[in-house]
Copies of this chain bind each other. A is one copy, B any other.
Amino acid sequence: MKNLFTKYELLKGNFGIEREGLRVDTNGNLSLTPHPKQFGYKMRNPYITTDFSESQLELITPAFSNTKETYKFLNALYDIVAMEINDEYIWPQSMPAIIPEDKEIPIAEFCGCEEGKIAREYREELFLKYGGKKQLISGIHYNFSFNENIIEKLYENSDKSSDYKVFKNDIYLKVTRNYLRYRWLLIYLLGCTGVVHESYQEECVKQLKEISKDSFSNEGALSYRNSECGYKNKIDLFPNYNSVKDYVDSVNKFIDEDLIDTHKELYAPIRLKAKDPKSLLNSLMNDGINYLEYRSIDINPFEKSGIGLEDLHFINLFNLFLLIEDESDYENWQQEALQNQNIIATKGQNDVELTNDGKTISKKDWGVEIINKIRLINDELQLEQGEIIENIANKINNYKETYTYKIIEKVKEEGYINAHLNIAKKYKLDSYNNRFKLEGYEDLELSTQILMKEAIKRGIKTELIDRSDNFISLEQGDKVEYVKQATKTSKDNYATVLAMENKVVTKKILQKNNIKVPDGSEFDSLKEALGEIKNFINNPIVIKPKSTNFGTGISIFPQGANEEDVTTAFEIAFKYDSTVLVEEFISGKEYRFLVIGDKVVGILHRVPANAIGDDVKSIRELIEIKNQSPLRGKGYKTPLEKIDLDENAALFLKHRGLDFDYIPKKDEVVYLRENSNISTGGDSIDYTDDIPKKFKDIAVRSSQAIGAKICGVDMMINNYNDESSEYAIIELNFNPAIHIHSYPYVGIERQIAKEILQLLEF
């Protein structure tokens, strides 16, 4: 294999995770409220649904080609969900929180449609057969397949005695069998269910002893979820994993013998998955194995997502180990493996003995043996994952490094419920602080992150088609929409966008529609401009390059200027563009109206970086506190920027006889610079509910005049309280940022992304 593959190929693959989690109230009781409506119809949302219970969330990532993306997406799903469940929390543990008696446990509700009825009936049957409490156990399901290149190359280098499909099946069957053999190690490493709450199933709890308030365990327990206390078939079932056909036959036999109702009821630690999940067994036969699902992994309470990135990286290596490791012909390997699992699950923290091919071997020795083989693979294939392997080796050598040990310690201190609730609260605060961004996509523009987040929440299939372009697709049913930078959509036509891009064209169109814009002239040469300079002297004017942005090359003369200054202003403007505009100066404040469809969904005004006094703290201290807001960051990754107490600010204060140590009076506003750009620490203030309808109507008319569906209208208003106040449209923007309205410094956080999705008819 050594020279056949690149490191990138071997570490890539297809990785998807499902993570369940109970909704609980502030006291740790299972929530009895319905699944939030924002998540849409639960059978259609590919990301957020429920499992058995109405209160049992299931978060599902798409398949990504590397585990890091999968991990981050799972965190993102957590953040999204946590913000939509009001004062509830996501229980950070596989074993349940405080659960009521069976009859109180809410089974998931579905629509009255055929599909919904079947889903509901299936759950009711499980409820009768296994009881409600066990159904509430939550877990991590890890879905993976190798990079197809790997299998193709292996096939090319094989004797090709079978066809490709069989070859590929054989690879996944080998991995499956080895997974079963070595799964005890994953359970040891990732087990987190060594303690249960007293409200859990009586049969289970009564075997354990109370180690803390309401918390029950046994010496050395590692993963009750993977033990007899967990969720398993009534009797142990051992499907035949020799070939796909044998597997399908054996599962069908279980069904025929009434041991299970359907293949879905086979609670094996691993499942073979096929292209068509609705007709799994047929699809396995026809299409072959598509991917594998590992089901032994507990929710890790120390991870918001329920599973750690390093652990995911390790599983990657573990998969390669399972692929490479030769198998023995020991006959009772399935029974032996189950026995090993049970030993680890119930006593794995201790120095237990396992059996390998009938021979006894200590947990530690066997673990070290496996790790050494993984080390070898890492070296041979130059995978550069040494650090991760050593951390895992450390856990094998020291049970105190296991998650179970750590959570039990915490439970002993705080009690089962509080220990987990405190963690859940911390995660929820984290989600709140992250509310303006989408984990895994922080390199994208905030507006795109916000829109993706909203789409994912509503179960619209969201794909990043081109990262550097902030280009996404949104898909639901037959409908596909492509969106760039959150506000560039199919709803706007190209000519409209190009008209908005061009200041002169915009003005002409607005004028034609009787909307007030600053009067002005356009010059194509300095000579021509100076030829008419007589007309501009001593008039309130703005001189600006036609198409540059961000204020470069612009001169503003609110009180007019003499010939020399106007000449200089022209000279400057012509440095930036071959066409220069002269416009009348309009006094007042500038407001950004965000028009979506035919309504104003947000109005924002920006003020320069400032400190507001409290009679006590200095400017320096006030700014330090202001900068602590998670909304403020550096480099446009947050809705607001941290205020820099730089030379410019110092100079600005100095001109006013102040410095950073000045202590402003209560409510005194001290500005730190002239310009109100958010990029230099300016504040964004929401005025959506303050500005009268008249001006909103003008904004909508402006947007309509140019034919825009999404439009940022920049309007100067002298005094918005006075409806007869002078106004003028300064500019129309075809790519207005939405984050400034979604997360203003002062005011209501407007749900702009929702409006965009509505415009797109999702």
Residues in chain A within 8 A of chain B (CB atoms):
6-9, 149, 465-466, 468-469, 471, 481-484, 488-499, 502, 504-505, 508-509, 528, 531-532, 534-535, 578-579, 707, 734
The count of identical subunits is 2
A527 and chain B: residue at smallest CB distance? B8
Closest partner residue, chain B, to A483 (CB atom):
B495
A307 and B506 alpha carbons, distance in the complex (Å): 36
- 6 extra interchain contacts, Cβ-Cβ under 8 A, other than A465-B505, A489-B493, A490-B496? A465-B504, A468-B578, A471-B502, A471-B505, A488-B495, A489-B495
Q: How many Å lie between the Cα of A385 and that of B468 in the bound state?
A: 56
A-B CB contact pairs (8 Å), 27 listed: A6-B534, A8-B531, A8-B532, A9-B532, A465-B508, A466-B504, A466-B505, A468-B579, A471-B499, A471-B502, A471-B505, A481-B495, A482-B496, A482-B505, A482-B509, A483-B495, A488-B498, A489-B493, A490-B493, A490-B494, A490-B495, A490-B496, A492-B493, A493-B493, A493-B494, A494-B494, A494-B497
Nearest chain B residue, comparing its CB with the CB of A494: B492
The answer to whether B499 touches A482 (Cβ under 8 A) is: yes
Within 8 Å CB of A499, what residues of B? 471, 482
What is the CA–CA distance of A734 and B495 in the complex, to the nearest angstrom? 12
Which 5 A/B pairs are nearest by Cβ-Cβ distance?
Answer: A490-B495, A490-B493, A482-B495, A492-B494, A484-B498
B579 to A707, Cβ gap below 8 A? Answer: no
> In the complex, what residues of B have CB within 8 A of residue A469's CB?
498, 502, 505
Please determine whether A6 and B532 come into contact, CB atoms closer than 8 angstroms. yes
| Chain B residues whose C-beta falls within 8 Å of the C-beta of A508 in the assembled complex | 465
A509 partner residues in chain B, CB cutoff 8 A: 482
Tell me, in angstroms, the Cα distance from A706 to B465 when the chains sit together: 14
Q: How far, in Å, is A533 (CB) from chain B's closest CB?
A: 8
Give CA–CA (A8, B466) in the complex, Å: 51
Find out whether the CB atom of A6 lies under 8 angstroms from the CB atom of B497.
no
Chain B CB count within 10 A is highest, among A482, A528, A707, for A482
**A534 vs chain B, min Cβ distance (A):** 6
Contact partners of A482 in chain B: CB under 8 A: 495-496, 498-499, 505, 509
* Given A468-B578, A505-B466, CB of A531 within 8 Å of CB of B6: yes
A508 to chain B, nearest CB (A): 6
**Minimal beta-carbon separation of A137 from chain B (angstroms):** 39
Interfacial chain B residues near A495, Cβ < 8 Å:
481-484, 488-490
Shortest beta-carbon distance from A580 to chain B in Å: 12
A492 to B490, CA, bound (A): 8
A508 to B480, CA, bound (A): 13
In the complex formed, the residue of B with least CB distance to A735 is B494
A637 smallest CB distance to B (angstroms): 19
Minimal Cβ-Cβ distance residue in B for A546? B468
Chain B residues, CB < 8 A from A9: 532
In angstroms, Cα B579 to Cα A502, docked, is 29
Residues of B within 8 A of A471 (CB): 498-499, 502, 505
Q: State the Cβ distance, A114 to closest chain B Cβ, in Å.
A: 30
Complex CA gap A502/B467 in Å reads 11
CA distance A224 to B531 in the complex (A): 44
Contact of A528 among B8, B493, B504, B579 (CB under 8 A): B8
Q: How far is the CB of A472 from chain B (nearest CB, A)?
A: 10
Q: Which residue of B lies closest to A578 (CB)?
A: B468
Could you tell me the distance between the alpha carbons of A531 and B531 in the complex, rounded to whole angstroms? Answer: 62
Known: A488-B494, A489-B494, A496-B490. Contact between A502 and B466, CB under 8 A?
A: yes
Please measure, in the bound complex, the distance between the C-alpha atom of A481 and the C-alpha atom of B707, giving whole angstroms: 10
Bound: A483/B497 CA distance, A: 11
Enumerate chain B residues within 8 angstroms of A578, measured Cβ to Cβ.
Answer: 468
Q: Nearest CB to that of A707 among chain B residues?
A: B490
Chain B positions within 8 Å of A490 at CB level: 493-496, 707
Q: If A493-B492, A493-B494 touch, does A7 touch B531 (CB 8 Å cutoff)? A: yes
Which residues of B are found within 8 Å of A149, using beta-carbon distances? 535
Which residues of B sit under 8 angstroms from A734, Cβ to Cβ? 494
The interface residues of chain B lying within 8 Å CB-to-CB of A483 are: 495
Measured CB to CB, the closest approach of chain B to A743, in angstroms, equals 25
